[in-house]
Structure 1
Amino acid sequence: MAEQQLGVLKALDLAKTQLYHFTAIVIAGMGFFTDAYDLFCVSLVTKLLGRLYYFNPLSEKPGSLPPHVAAAVNGVALCGTLAGQLFFGWLGDKLGRKKVYGITLIMMILCSVASGLSFGDKAKGVMTTICFFRFWLGFGIGGDYPLSATIMSEYANKKTRGAFIAAVFAMQGVGILAGGFVALAVSSIFDKNFPAPSYAVDRALSTPPQADYIWRIIVMFGALPAALTYYWRMKMPETARYTALVAKNIKQATQDMSKVLQVDLEMEERAEDFIKDPRLNYCLFSKEFAKRHGLPLLGCTSTWFLLDVAFYSQNLFQKDIFSAIGWIPKAETMNGINEVYMIARAQTLIAFCSTVPGYWFTVAFIEIMGRFAIQLMGFFMMTVFMFAIAFPYDHWIKPENRIGFLVMYSLTFFFANFGPNATTFIVPAEIFPARLRSTCHGISAATRKAGAIVGAFGFLYAAQPQDKTKTEAGYPPGIGVKNSLIMLGVINFIGMLFTFLIPEPKGKSLEELSGESEVRKSLGSHNVVFSTSSC
């Protein structure tokens, strides 16, 4: 029997790609641009924070953040994001996607600015306040994950839904790239106007007081793109699937989508019988949910967790790996502003050559290959390239082999984004019922951030040299990095195995994937009438 669904939802599924699709991509995508910028820009300035607030005049080396402080600065936003994904994911199903969407954006704007205005000139005060505001920044960012994915999936048509959601997520890559460009521009301007000697020449002057503005400007810039999209977010109507299936107001859903699609829609008969059927009212913690969606939810949560242990470890600590192989000069040979520039240059090059193309390859091929194939391929290739740089690590850290290392390292990012980093975001927005969609996506995303926290805190310590006496005696650094990279390769392989729990959503409607159309079949079909006349 052919699939049956509410007519207004069928009209959305069959709608041709038009302007409102691209408007929704831009509005939701700018949220992800801000998310990525705010989460990853801190890795560009942690070295500078160490020079500014942990400088020891008696030391022969520049100041650096103690491991526990570095872990807190890098990881506290991830903790906030985890909490925000769970809370706002649940709230999005209770109050509606649109109402909660504005709240998350306001939090992101205010906390981005507040993070850069951290109080005091002493290390303890500055680090405490930046961690406080970055936690709440992460809390707002967390809400953007389930809401943006759910809104885009519920607005999209059936044929290009995966590509549209992937395009929203691809703005994360643009945000990472923008963070690098902003850091390059700001450090260049300050280096030109406030030149400082290298650390080796004059330790006391190598980080001028004006450098304190650099990290603040970089961090606060993230508020700008979020502020620019607030008005347009508030103008978006609530999604038809929430209004019809959760709020149970089919008349309003039909009116809203008539304006969005620019067609005349008429509400069908017996629609109320469908949305009020008790077979659609099982809750999250029920045997029926476990029977229908338990294994897919396990697949979504486990693969996202495993991916982010590896992905965030790589992203947040690129600078440590680049330093270990000698691509970034030793801190003692440059001043603080130069160091920001060198770190930003390295990370921007990786993002431009591998991270960003990976996202857009997913956009281009997801409706051809499908979610399952892309995710399986991505995990497999990440495993291969991680092992390829980890086992012969002593070979790669030699100066003449650095280019080869960077190519191999970049390919792990490419296949992360043309792979599970994109698909793990897309699938949870497609396979769960409308009344639980945002909640389940929030749960899946929260396990991602749990993996990111493990990566941020765990890799920081695992990557330290195992024997400091050998390092101080002149042995090559990176013994800890090598073992950590091997561990990340194993994690990617396990992620590949858990991918087999995830269904393929390609070419199916959201109601067919969630099982909501099964009830519709038993009631019979009275389709909505829609025409091409303009409203």
Structure 2
Amino acid sequence: MADYGPAAPHGPDMSGQHPSMVNPQFDMSEDEARVFSRLLKPDDSYDENGVYWADMGWFKRARFVLSTDYAEYKREGASVWEMFKKDPLSPVSFYFRNMVLPGAGLGLEGYVLFSIGNLKPLFQKGFPACWGTKAGQGGACNDTWLAAIEYMEIVGIIFGQILVGVIGDWLGRRWGLIQDATIMFIGLLMLTAMWGVTLNGWIICYVWSLFFYGVGVGGEYPMTATSGMENAVGSGKVSTKEDRLHRGRKVTSAFLMQGWGQFFNQVLLILLLLIFHHGSGNPPYSEVAVQWTFRISFAIPAVGTLWLVYYRTYKMKSASKQLQLQKKKSNVTGYDTQSLKMTFTHFGGRVIATAGAWYMNDVFFYGNKLFQSEFISVVTKGSPSIMPGWLYNLINVGVSLCGYYLASFFIDNKLYGRKHMQTVGFMMDFILFVIPAFKLDYFTDPANIKGFQAMYFLSSFFNQFGPNSVTFIAAAEVYPTAVRATAHGFSAAVGKLGALTAAVLYNYIDTQTKFYVVPWFGLAGVVLSVVFLPDTTGLDLKEQERRWALIRAGRGHEYHGVAVHPKHLSWWERSRGLGKQYDADADYAQRVQEMRKEWEVLMQEKADEKSGPLDQNDWEDLEHEFSHEVQEYFKKTSKSPILAGQEKQVPLLDGKRESDSDDTINEKRVV
């Protein structure tokens, strides 16, 4: 019979019935408060009296948040300085490993995805027989296939977002990441080598190459968001400071690589055209110059994508760790269909928020091209050169990058955070579009073009410093681990329907009507954000998993932690009474009790594996799950359930004990 080794010394309560195991509303002993307050009430979320930051009054909360953030910025600054003194390039290396590499896939897809719009004016100038004349009037290319260049790209992305989202929750994050990179690499080979016997045949090849590449692009959204978020959480029983304070920054820093992809694409296109067009950016553009320019522009990211396949295959072997742990706890081996059904039942409002807001945002994201095309047509005065358009687009991408970085800086700030950022961004975009909508002739007059330019750049800035950044993280963060990739992929797919809506709609209405229509999508985004979006800024994601485990077991009403704090719930959820479940004292006692039971079951499993007493090495092995201080406290306050020659005993949820066989031990395990 296995045992835990020599019986541990007991505290004053020799019965093994610690007060927290009998009645959750107990008076905390001094020892227990010392052991668990630091562990369960970390000083970045709780004040010295153990009050959660969202329970504080506004002024006290502001002082607490500002002082906590200042201390963290000071700590990070000192850490960076120490790194710099040891090696001046080490901070750059740190940024590359922790920010650039996680978002490399989005950077590469941003490069290619936005190159389609950048290449269109070059193709129009280089192949006028294809783009300049309608097919029915002797043109070389079919109009339907020309329009399909934009449509099929979006359709491929939608397909990939849904498909890979499901695969990511079914087979794991790592498999999805590898698959995305492989598909994008093959797609880039197709784009680099695409050809046709006729111009129309080449366009058809172009369309299907974009569709194939788009499948990989679509999968990048749920895989980058979920893997980046879960890597910040850690694998212990409690969350890390990195998760609580910098989870949003970590994910947004990966997402903003999409902006750098756009930037480098535009820079390389300008340089390549100058190289292959004899140092001039002015027309006429030869077919040879156009061919070399676009093919080399696709070949360069193909090399980076091939390296990404290698990196994800051999250097990201633990990307699925959080998902595997959650499946083990839920006793699920394949796809968790039960969690998917329950997500729509319990989190239906969140689905409306993440999918609906992303739809509204993508209409705006596409609508920003309205500003660009109208602005450039005025400042260039009908110039046949494509260079002015490319240069102004480069400036706009630079403005967007400022928005991306500012979003990463503020997205974890508890006084502003996700929900406020998205709401303000939508409102600002609404204002910046509705003003020129009713004064379009005035603002497009050359005398007033600077005002139009300011609104154009500001709309790009607030789109990034707002809904475009927040929708990406919220669509993963507000859902449980088991279906996180699926929910994110679904939300992103609905968002791409917004881009498809704009692409189709703009072909049937004039510019003035476009400006009349687009602003109201921003106002709708404000409403969806205010009513249905929960604010997960500063929320411990492991608390969300605790709540989900009880929901999945049909006991959601028993959860009383911060995941149901009114601050972290949407207006819709609060109106249904969920916020009334929050009870800080009851939840604290429950968390101690859960940790005790988890510890005892882990010891039982360890003893069973050895078929003998645990030694010092075994205790050290358990410290990645529970700290030494916690283990010592549990040994002192719990009667050792297994001694040599005694039958095995496992604690039940109500604190009683009963004899169990080996087969039922895991069933008693508390999530």
Query: TM-score surpassing 0.5?
Result: yes
- Taking a change above 3 Å as real, the CA distance of residues 121 and 342 of structure 1, as seen in their structure-2 partners, is farther
TM-aligned CA deviation for residue 126 of structure 1: 1.0
Q: Which residue of 1 aligns with 2:324?
A: 243
Q: Does structure 1 residue 516 correspond to structure 2 residue 548?
A: yes
Q: Which residue of 1 aligns with 2:292?
A: 213
Partner residue of 1:182 out of 268, 284, 291: 268
Report the secondary structure of 1:55's partner residue.
Answer: helix
TM-aligned CA deviation for residue 291 of structure 1: 3.5
Partner residue of 1:110 out of 166, 182, 186: 186
Kindly indicate whether the alpha-carbon contact (under 8 Å) linking 1:50 and 1:65 is maintained by their aligned counterparts in 2: no
- Taking a change above 3 Å as real, the CA distance of residues 399 and 183 of structure 1, as seen in their structure-2 partners, is same
Q: Which residue of 2 aligns with 1:93?
A: 169
Counterpart code for 1:240: K
- Taking a change above 3 Å as real, the CA distance of residues 58 and 223 of structure 1, as seen in their structure-2 partners, is closer
TM-score, normalised to structure 1, is 0.78
TM-aligned CA deviation for residue 532 of structure 1: 9.9
Q: Does structure 1 residue 327 correspond to structure 2 residue 379?
A: yes
Report the secondary structure of 2:129's partner residue.
Answer: coil
Q: Which residue of 2 aligns with 1:475?
A: none
Kindly indicate whether the alpha-carbon contact (under 8 Å) linking 1:71 and 1:460 is maintained by their aligned counterparts in 2: no
Q: Which residue of 2 aligns with 1:456?
A: 503
Report the secondary structure of 2:244's partner residue.
Answer: coil
Report which structure shows greater RCO (CA 8 Å, sep ≥6).
1
- 1:242-321 alignment, distance < 5 Å: 242-246=323-327, 248=328, 274-276=329-331, 283=338, 286=341, 288-315=342-369, 320-321=373-374
Report the secondary structure of 1:529's partner residue.
Answer: helix
- Taking a change above 3 Å as real, the CA distance of residues 401 and 283 of structure 1, as seen in their structure-2 partners, is same
Cα deviation digits, residues 172-217 of structure 1 (max 9, x gap): 1111111111111111212325x69755xxxxxx545332222222
Which shows bigger deviation, 395-404 or 40-49?
A: 395-404
Q: Which residue of 1 aligns with 2:62?
A: none
Give the whole-Å Cα distance in 2 for the aligned partners of 1:65 and 1:344.
25
Kindly indicate whether the alpha-carbon contact (under 8 Å) linking 2:188 and 2:298 is maintained by their aligned counterparts in 1: yes
Cα deviation digits, residues 151-184 of structure 1 (max 9, x gap): 0110112221011111111111111111111111
Kindly indicate whether the alpha-carbon contact (under 8 Å) linking 2:429 and 2:463 is maintained by their aligned counterparts in 1: yes
Cα deviation digits, residues 136-163 of structure 1 (max 9, x gap): 1000111111001000110112221011
RMSD: 3.4
Q: Which residue of 1 aligns with 2:123?
A: 49
Q: Which residue of 2 aligns with 1:342?
A: 388
Cα deviation digits, residues 306-340 of structure 1 (max 9, x gap): 1101212324x66633444x23452xx53xxx42x
Kindly indicate whether the alpha-carbon contact (under 8 Å) linking 1:27 and 1:232 is maintained by their aligned counterparts in 2: no
Q: Which residue of 1 aligns with 2:586?
A: none
- Taking a change above 3 Å as real, the CA distance of residues 9 and 221 of structure 1, as seen in their structure-2 partners, is farther
Give the whole-Å Cα distance in 1 for the aligned partners of 2:303 and 2:466.
30
Partner residue of 2:512 out of 467, 476, 482: 482
Kindly indicate whether the alpha-carbon contact (under 8 Å) linking 1:78 and 1:449 is maintained by their aligned counterparts in 2: yes
Cα deviation digits, residues 337-360 of structure 1 (max 9, x gap): x42x332212111111x2111111
- Taking a change above 3 Å as real, the CA distance of residues 115 and 372 of structure 1, as seen in their structure-2 partners, is same
Counterpart code for 1:511: K
Give the whole-Å Cα distance in 2 for the aligned partners of 1:109 and 1:9.
45
Give the whole-Å Cα distance in 2 for the aligned partners of 1:361 and 1:304.
20
Q: Which residue of 1 aligns with 2:482?
A: 435
Give the whole-Å Cα distance in 1 for the aligned partners of 2:121 and 2:379.
16
Q: Which residue of 2 aligns with 1:477?
A: none
Q: How many residues align?
A: 463
Kindly indicate whether the alpha-carbon contact (under 8 Å) linking 1:284 and 1:436 is maintained by their aligned counterparts in 2: yes
Kindly indicate whether the alpha-carbon contact (under 8 Å) linking 2:442 and 2:448 is maintained by their aligned counterparts in 1: yes
Q: Which residue of 2 aligns with 1:158?
A: 244
Give the whole-Å Cα distance in 2 for the aligned partners of 1:140 and 1:56.
28
Give the whole-Å Cα distance in 2 for the aligned partners of 1:361 and 1:43.
26
Report the secondary structure of 1:238's partner residue.
Answer: coil
Give the whole-Å Cα distance in 1 for the aligned partners of 2:190 and 2:432.
40
Kindly indicate whether the alpha-carbon contact (under 8 Å) linking 1:303 and 1:498 is maintained by their aligned counterparts in 2: yes
Give the whole-Å Cα distance in 1 for the aligned partners of 2:363 and 2:104.
25
Q: Which residue of 2 aligns with 1:465?
A: none
Kindly indicate whether the alpha-carbon contact (under 8 Å) linking 1:27 and 1:233 is maintained by their aligned counterparts in 2: no
Give the whole-Å Cα distance in 1 for the aligned partners of 2:497 and 2:339.
21
- Taking a change above 3 Å as real, the CA distance of residues 10 and 35 of structure 1, as seen in their structure-2 partners, is farther
Give the whole-Å Cα distance in 1 for the aligned partners of 2:244 and 2:303.
33
Which shows bigger deviation, 446-455 or 117-126?
A: 117-126
Kindly indicate whether the alpha-carbon contact (under 8 Å) linking 1:54 and 1:65 is maintained by their aligned counterparts in 2: no
Q: Which residue of 2 aligns with 1:225?
A: 304
Give the whole-Å Cα distance in 2 for the aligned partners of 1:54 and 1:145.
36
TM-aligned CA deviation for residue 495 of structure 1: 0.9
- 1:139-158 alignment, distance < 5 Å: 139-156=215-232, 157-158=243-244
Give the whole-Å Cα distance in 2 for the aligned partners of 1:64 and 1:328.
29
Report the secondary structure of 2:454's partner residue.
Answer: helix
Q: Which residue of 2 aligns with 1:25?
A: 99
Give the whole-Å Cα distance in 2 for the aligned partners of 1:277 and 1:45.
47
Counterpart code for 1:529: E
Which shows bigger deviation, 437-446 or 184-193?
A: 184-193
Give the whole-Å Cα distance in 1 for the aligned partners of 2:282 and 2:406.
43
Counterpart code for 1:496: V
Instruction: Please tell me whether Structure 1 or Structure 2 has the larger radius of gyration of its CA atoms.
Output: 2
Kindly indicate whether the alpha-carbon contact (under 8 Å) linking 1:25 and 1:152 is maintained by their aligned counterparts in 2: no
TM-aligned CA deviation for residue 64 of structure 1: 11
- Taking a change above 3 Å as real, the CA distance of residues 511 and 173 of structure 1, as seen in their structure-2 partners, is same
Partner residue of 2:469 out of 413, 422, 426: 422
Cα deviation digits, residues 458-497 of structure 1 (max 9, x gap): 22443xxxxxxxxxxxxxxxxx212212211111111110
Q: Gaps (5+ residues) in structure 1?
A: 3-7, 200-205, 249-273, 463-479
Kindly indicate whether the alpha-carbon contact (under 8 Å) linking 2:428 and 2:462 is maintained by their aligned counterparts in 1: yes
TM-aligned CA deviation for residue 130 of structure 1: 0.5
Give the whole-Å Cα distance in 2 for the aligned partners of 1:524 and 1:58.
70
Which shows bigger deviation, 138-147 or 381-390?
A: 381-390
Give the whole-Å Cα distance in 2 for the aligned partners of 1:281 and 1:149.
19
Kindly indicate whether the alpha-carbon contact (under 8 Å) linking 1:383 and 1:492 is maintained by their aligned counterparts in 2: yes
TM-score, normalised to structure 2, is 0.63
Q: Does structure 1 residue 495 correspond to structure 2 residue 521?
A: no
TM-aligned CA deviation for residue 436 of structure 1: 0.5
Partner residue of 1:506 out of 537, 540, 544: 537
Give the whole-Å Cα distance in 2 for the aligned partners of 1:93 and 1:172.
24
Give the whole-Å Cα distance in 1 for the aligned partners of 2:106 and 2:218.
10
